[in-house]
Structure 1
Amino acid sequence: MNKNNWIHLCIDMQRMFAEDTPWHVPWMQHVSPQIEEIAKHYPQRTVFSRFVPPKRAVDMHGMWRSYYEKWDAMTLERLGREMVDLIPPLKALVPPARVFDKMTYSPWTTGELHRVLAGEGVETVAISGGETDVCVLAAAIGAIDLGYRVILLKDAVCSGADDTHDASLELLGDRFSVQLEILPTEGFLSRA
């Protein structure tokens, strides 16, 4: 790995998933130490994405409106804007770590993140965070589509559903093995 052309992309390590909400991800507490280790060693190379719900379901279009009608408790009006914040140990690293907000599963949808990373010459994206079978999956597939080399940090990703977490790791590792590598955090840090 070229030591100058990678970033750590940490997906949605936010209070709304760490705390007692309908979207609580219990495994988040188990992967947080690995994520914190990478982010503390390399805050200038860390990019956090935050999943930002709309204020109200009616603010969305198409199936996103239906989605938030189902998950009305997770709209900003009901949840509170502070719950979008990163968990405190990670929030403390911003800056120099950076934050990109998104309203969809993928951090690539708006094009802003790709424009910034491409402008910096980034070629490799090491992905951590949650959830493996939703936003992490979308981030990995999007990064592959954009031509990045992807490293998925298997002990630094989590989900609220063990079966689909495991299936996502298997899918990514098997079907995308040319473009994506799965590594433990320590293995990645020893190369960084």
Structure 2
Amino acid sequence: MKIWRHLCIDMQCMFIEQTPWHVPWMSRTLDPIAEVAGRFPERTIFTRFIPPSRSDLMPGKWRDYYKKWEMMTTGRLPADSMLLVAPLRRLVPPGRIFDKLTYSPWTDGHLHRILVRENVDTLVISGGETDVCVLAAVLGAIELGYGIIILKDAVCSGDDDGHEAALTLLERRFSVQSNMMSVQEFLSAC
């Protein structure tokens, strides 16, 4: 591990609170994530999934997606739903926030350009959901050539089977580019 950043995916109020997108066991990953981010806030980048204000503002199938989830658009949600959960919010700054409109943080190229300028070659991944936004972040990072460490006890999903399938996929099919570790294993190696 040379130059690394902790990429914490979408630990936001709208996922931890009782909304249609509630991730029931996100609260169980909060302490391990806060431990990593709290030790290395200057190396932590928090992504936030920011829905549009209306479904018709999105292209293609995203429009259909937000027609289904209209109640989860920023036009309908309280503004504080987009915030990071409280224990993580206090770490910014020096931690940074990167907002994204899709599952992947790589779509517009901005995050990659920042990491290239900082000579980052490894990403330590935490957050939610394992089988959606975390998976998109990991696969995109692999495509861009980053080494990946997935903190297996610091990722979560609203679908246990999807969570397990995503971790199994990443461990079996991307073992050259990615590594699974517990938070304690990672912290002991730092």
- Range of TM-score over shorter length: over 0.9
Mapped partners of 1:111, 1:22: distance in 2: 30
Which among 109, 112, 120 is matched to residue 111 of structure 1?
109
Q: Any idea what SS the aligned residue of 1:78 has?
A: coil
How many residue pairs were aligned? 190
Output the aligned Cα RMSD: 0.6
Mapped partners of 1:80, 1:64: distance in 2: 21
Q: What is the CA distance between 1:148 and its match in structure 2?
A: 0.3
Residue in 2 that maps onto 1:10: 8
Q: What is the CA distance between 1:190 and its match in structure 2?
A: 1.0
The unaligned stretches of length 5 or more in structure 2 are: none
Matches for 1:91-130 after TM superposition, within 5 Å: 91-130=89-128
Q: What is the CA distance between 1:61 and its match in structure 2?
A: 1.5
Mapped partners of 1:15, 1:108: distance in 2: 22
Q: One-letter code of the match for 1:90?
A: L
Residue in 2 that maps onto 1:66: 64
Query: Which runs of 4 or more aligned residues in structure 1 lie more than 2 Å from their structure 2 counterparts after TM superposition?
Result: none
Residue in 2 that maps onto 1:87: 85
Mapped partners of 1:38, 1:63: distance in 2: 36
Q: 1:107-165 CA deviation, whole Å, 9 max, x = no partner?
A: 11110100001100101000000000000000000010000000000000000000010
The unaligned stretches of length 5 or more in structure 1 are: none
Q: What is the CA distance between 1:78 and its match in structure 2?
A: 0.8
Matches for 1:1-192 after TM superposition, within 5 Å: 1-2=1-2, 5-192=3-190
Q: Give % identity.
A: 59
Instruction: State TM-score, norm by structure 2.
Output: 0.99
